[in-house]
Every structure is written in structure tokens, then in C-alpha cells.
Amino acid sequence: MITTTGLTKVYRSRGREITALDGVDLHVGEGEVYGVIGQSGAGKSSLIRCVNLLERPTSGTVTVDGQDLTALAGRGPRAGKELRAARSRIGMVFQHFNLLSTRTVQDNVELPLEILGHSGRARSRKALELLDLVGLADKARAYPSQLSGGQKQRVGIARALAGDPKVLLSDEATSALDPETTRSILQLLRDLNRSLGLTVLLITHEMDVVKTVCDSAALMADGRIVESGTVSELLATPGSELAAALFPVSGDASDPGRTVVDVTFHGDAATRPVISQLSRTYNIDISILGAAMDTVGGRQIGRMRIELPGRFEENVVPIGFLREQGLQVEVADRAAPTVADRAAPAVADCAAPIVKEGAK
């Protein structure tokens, strides 16, 4: 549904060049909720603004629903008209709502329809339908100043849906909201994704957003995609930086003669007592150094760091047992930095707790 190929964006200011996007290749499948995560300055916002051509890419292509938007970004009235028509099929939700304070909630939702030339009656009917869809039918006559932060974002989402888009772009839509309101907005996005068949591309710096709502994700750093894939694939990929940031575990061996391994649980294995079975089967004592479990896409997924007695050579069979149970097992070599250690600067901001402001 959304594909970027070799996407580059270079900003020029006072004789300097700043590369915000450096050859980004991204593919978002139809009906997916796809998250792009990274710390500030990674290029996330430049990417989403290039997807709907609010920013013109320096080079590369952007294709949405089979249409090359970069080919429509030429000069002249015809090109401009075609680009506006293409953009009307892409909804955009902003971090700070961008509602007009002098317009009522209903009038804010009607604004895109007004620009598109719809009649007053059609605008009113559509706006009321959308407000009902986002749970704000009773706020149609209210003004933005009378709404909470979460309600304002729901109005922003309703407005983004006014043109019946196939694609919804979300630029840090929950970062100004408190945790409870964030969860309700994410649930709304997931419900809209399922009920309307929307493809959702969201930009975020919060790992909880990826865990809560995303089917697939990409990690950005220095204007590039570091890794990407479905969340389940990433969790099963040895050395995945995103997996380590989504489910961080830590802990060192209590003795140089012991083996530390990271175990990733997903699917049915997450609910089975695999570690206790391992201990009983091989009559060994196992220490749990750290664990992180959560629900992703309705399934329990997590990682655990455990310590086994003896060196690696003595634990080949127990480690094989874990892998036979469908678990991903990696030996944690603390003598040398792991992939996750090397990625720590890139994901530190993402994994850190976020202090939020705003009312429900």
C-alpha cells in the first residue's frame, strides 16, 4: 500500500546540507498497522511528511495505493490538481491536534470536505457520522477549548477520515497524552484499521506503542532504516535491536564458569512451563536473571535471561532442549558487546520511560 524506494531528503540552510533521509526503502502492506520508531533526529517526521508530499523528496519515489506521488509533484496546475486528489485519499493525524479554535468540533471535521467542495448537507451528515465513529457524537457543538487532550485527538482522527482515505498517517499522535488516554487512542486506531480496512503508518518514539498496536515495525537511525519486519519476525531474529529494545533483559553471570542465555518466548511456548521442565528433565538449577513479558497482537510474548551451571560446552543439550520447544535462544557473551549493546545509543530514548502531559 505504501512503498518508498531510495528516498532521500536533504535540507539546505545557510550553505550547509543536512541529510534527514538517506536512501530509505520501506514497504507497508495493505491493512497493516506499521510503526516507525527512533530517537529524535532519526528522520521519522521527515519520512512521514515525504510520504504525503508535504515535503518534496530530494530523490527517490513514494508510491501509495499503486500511484507514484513523486511523479505528480511536478509544476503546473494539472500536476497540482492530481497531487491534491491523491492526498485527499491519505489522512493525517498530528501530534498537537491542529484544530481551529474558532470552529466547533463539527466544523473542524467538515473543513476537509468544505475544501473538496462538498455541499453543506453532505458535509454535516459525514461529520456527524465520523464523530459518532470516534465516540464524540455529543461534542459536535463544542469548541476545542472545551475538550480534553484525548477528545481533541479523536476530533483530529475524525477530520483525517473525512475524505474516506485508504491510508492514515500518524505523526507522534499520542506523545502529548497521558498513558490511559494513549491506550484508548491506540485502541481506536486499531479498531478503525479493522473496521475500515485502513492501512496505518505511525511515527513514534515509544516502544509501548509498537507493542500495543503494530503488526510490523522499522527502527530508524541517522536517516536510515536499521531493521524492519513484522514484530513476531523481529522477536525471533537473533541479535534484533528492536527486539532487545521492546523486551530489554539484563544480568551478568555469577561466575565465569556459568552460561548465560537469552530466551525469547512467543506463541504457545509463552504459556508453557518450559524452564521448570528443563530443570526437572536435566536435574539442573537455573537462575532467572531478568525477564520482560507483554501482550503483542493479542499474544503473550517475552524474553528471559537465565543462567545455567557450567560452561557452554556442558550446556549444549539443555540449550537444544529449549530450541526444540520452539524458543529462540541466544548465548549472552558479556565479554564482547552484543548487537543490542552496540544499538543502545540508538534505542535509549525509545526504551526509556516517557513523562507525558495532557488530560484524558
| Mean pLDDT score of the chain | 86
In this structure, the answer to whether residues 97 and 68 fall within a common structural domain is yes
In this structure, the answer to whether residues 80 and 204 fall within a common structural domain is yes
Does the pLDDT of residue 144 top 90, yes or no?
Answer: yes
In this structure, the answer to whether residues 141 and 179 fall within a common structural domain is yes
Closest CA to 173 of 165, 162, 158: 158
In this structure, the answer to whether residues 207 and 75 fall within a common structural domain is yes
DSSP character for 223? T
Q: How many domains does the chain have?
A: 2
Which grid coordinates belong to 88? 485527499
- On whether residue 354 sits in a domain, the answer given is no
**CB within 8 Å of 122: residues ≥ 6 apart:** 113
Residue 342 near residue 237, CB atoms below 8 Å: no
**CB within 8 Å of 274: residues ≥ 6 apart:** 265, 322, 325, 327
In this predicted model, what pLDDT tens digit does every residue of 199-212 receive, in sequence order?
A: 999 999 888 888 88
Residue 288, domain CATH: 3.30.70.260
Residue 193, domain CATH: 3.40.50.300
In this structure, the answer to whether residues 9 and 111 fall within a common structural domain is yes
| Domain limit, last residue, from 235, 264, 287 | 235
DSSP character for 233? H
- On whether residue 240 sits in a domain, the answer given is no
Residue 65 near residue 246, CB atoms below 8 Å: no
> Residue 32's domain spans which residues?
2-235
Query: Cα separation of 217 and 219, whole Å?
Result: 7
Residue 329 near residue 300, CB atoms below 8 Å: no
Is the Cα torsion angle 308, 311, 312, 317 positive or negative in sign? negative
Kindly state the percentage of the chain with pLDDT values over 90.
Answer: 56
- On whether residue 340 sits in a domain, the answer given is no
- On whether residue 122 sits in a domain, the answer given is yes
Tracing cell 549493546 back to the chain, one arrives at 341
Query: Cα separation of 153 and 4, whole Å?
Result: 28
> Between 83 and 147, whose confidence is greater?
147
In this structure, the answer to whether residues 273 and 309 fall within a common structural domain is yes
In this structure, the answer to whether residues 20 and 83 fall within a common structural domain is yes
- On whether residue 349 sits in a domain, the answer given is no
Query: Cα separation of 319 and 309, whole Å?
Result: 12
In this predicted model, what pLDDT tens digit does every residue of 209-244 receive, in sequence order?
A: 888 899 999 999 999 999 999 887 887 777 788 888
Closest CA to 186 of 207, 159, 214, 166: 214
Does the pLDDT of residue 290 top 70, yes or no?
Answer: yes
- On whether residue 344 sits in a domain, the answer given is no
| Domain limit, last residue, from 235, 268, 295 | 235
What is the residue-wise DSSP string for 237-257?
STT-HHHHHHS------SSTT
| Domain limit, last residue, from 168, 203, 235 | 235
In this structure, the answer to whether residues 283 and 215 fall within a common structural domain is no
Tell me the whole-structure pTM to 2 decimals. 0.81
In this structure, the answer to whether residues 84 and 201 fall within a common structural domain is yes
What's the pLDDT band for 78 if we cut at 50, 70, 90?
Answer: low
In this structure, the answer to whether residues 205 and 73 fall within a common structural domain is yes
pLDDT score recorded for residue 77: 57
